[in-house]
Amino acid sequence: MQQKVVIIAILIILFSCFPMCYGGELYQAEVIKISDADSIWIRMNGRKIKLNIAGIDAPEEFKSRKMRMDSKRCHISRKRIRKLGRMATNYARSILNKGEMVKIEIYNKGEKEIYGVLFLPDGQSYGEEIVRQGYACVSGESKEKELQNLRELLYRAKENKKGLWDKYYKEMDCLCK
């Protein structure tokens, strides 16, 4: 009986840390497609996988439930949100190229998509760079230390009117809430 309790306790601990258990180990991957600023298609271990970038949320480029919700919540037309999304994606494509080899730190892994941090060929965090340059917001889905860093970068991008914050401050201010 005592052995069962120990096994159950171990399983509970393992499953409670599952989303962050992958963190720390870096994997090599090839960029296949930049679909939008916060999700990148990669080839890793011969498999095509969608990588959702941890800790960031960029304006939506494609029609989605989230775009409808953002439009309603922020009183911004879907057309305007799509425009911001295209601008964010274009910036993403300017710093990350199809065919480039990158490193990935996985936080959570599914069958066809993963969630984690992408490191550019120069070693810099893609998420940090896109927030620093004013093309993405901070989402609460990452490790606390990384979120603190991303929030500081977002604050500076806002203050310095970087990227989308320059001409679309009001829209970005609402989208980033």
Q: How confident is the model at residue 2 (pLDDT cuts 50, 70, 90)?
A: low
Percentage above 70 pLDDT, the chain? 87
Instruction: Name the nearest CA neighbour of 175 among 38, 18, 16.
Output: 38
Which CATH number characterizes residue 9's domain? 2.40.50.90
Helix (H, G, I), strand (E, B) or coil at 11: helix
Contact between 106 and 44 (Cβ < 8 Å): no
Residue with tokens 């069962």: 4
pLDDT of residue 15: 42
Q: Which residue has the higher pLDDT, 137 or 143?
A: 137
State the virtual CA torsion across 131, 134, 140, 141 in degrees, nearest 10.
Answer: -40
Using one digit for the tens of pLDDT, what is the confidence trace for 54-75? 999 999 999 999 999 999 999 9
What is the average pLDDT across 162-174? 98
Residue span of the structural domain in which 100 resides: 2-175
Q: For the chain, what is the domain count?
A: 1
**Cα separations (Å) of 59 from 76, 83, 153?**
12, 9, 17
Helix (H, G, I), strand (E, B) or coil at 136: coil
Using one digit for the tens of pLDDT, what is the confidence trace for 82-131? 999 999 999 999 999 999 999 999 998 887 789 999 999 999 999 999 99
pLDDT of residue 144: 86
Using one digit for the tens of pLDDT, what is the confidence trace for 10-34? 444 444 444 444 457 899 999 999 9
Tokens standing for residue 120: 């550019």
